[in-house]
Amino acid sequence: MLKIDNIHVFYGAIHAIKGITLEVNQGEIVTLIGANGAGKTTILRTISGLEHAKEGTINFLGNDIGNAAAQNVVKMGISHVPEGRRVFTNMSVTENLELGAYLSKDKQANSASMKKVFEYFPRLHERRHQVAGTLSGGEQQMLAMGRALMSKPKLMMLDEPSMGLAPILVRQIFSIVEEIHKEGTTILLIEQNANMALSIADRGYVLETGKIVMQGPAKEILQSEDVKNAYLGGAARS
């Protein structure tokens, strides 16, 4: 579904991504784990068209999207839930969701998408007229995910969905991610809670300073002593 081959991404003179190759197959949950600054967010931004690779290729469903504009990446079927939620705080929940479908002119389909989002997130339905800036952190994360689902993506990318949330909300968010996946959406997940991410993923990649240092079935990565020491112990942060 998604194939990234030998991409290099720079921020000025900083070589942020150093020849990364990875793939996400249709129907999978794939997770990227690594320390802060490893390059995880940059990978998602490059897939989304918010950054562009200096070298290498990005292929989605047979199309080269390496130089595609962000709105065209969304049209092709990729949605991105950014780190920090980035909801429109002065707009209502419903208005935020409607923006997630701004490329679609099919009102009936958009209405059906919103109904589906409210099934995933009943709390958003309860607060549909509320200004997004007054929502709790967990509710804002639900809204960011719901907004991404409005475009009916084939591939949904999530950047740190559990960041700053209480454990009970983390479990709820991950349960919804699994439900979205079971209903047919492929997932590419960046997550600070490496244990939780690897427990629901099919495969994983471990990043260090812009390079992949380990990859394989998520269960195998969970059993790696190096990964346990670096990410699954007291310092398990991504």
The residue to which tokens 């809670």 are assigned: 193
In a domain, 12, yes or no: no
Q: Which two structure tokens, joined as six digits, stand for 20?
A: 């990364």
What's the CATH code of the domain at 46? 3.40.50.300
Q: Give domain status of residue 14, yes or no.
A: no
Q: Which two tokens stand for residue 149?
A: 């689902």
Establish if 99 belongs to a structural domain. yes
Note whether residue 169 is domain-resident: yes
Whether 238 is in a domain gets the answer: no
Residues constituting the chain? 238
DSSP secondary structure code for residue 134 in this structure: G
The residues near 112 (Cβ < 8 Å, ≥ 6 apart) are: none
What is the residue range of 135's domain?
22-50+72-231
Give me the number of domains the chain comprises.
1
Tokens 């595609």 — which residue? 68
Query: Can you tell me whether residue 125 is helix, strand or coil?
Result: helix
Cα 165 from Cα 168, distance rounded (Å): 8
Q: Domain for residue 224, yes or no?
A: yes
pLDDT per residue, tens digit, the chain (238 aa), is 999 999 999 999 999 999 999 999 999 999 999 888 889 999 999 999 999 999 999 999 999 999 999 989 999 999 999 887 788 888 999 999 998 887 777 788 888 889 999 999 999 999 999 999 899 888 999 999 999 999 899 999 999 998 888 888 888 899 999 999 999 999 999 988 888 999 999 999 999 999 999 999 999 999 888 888 877 753 433 3
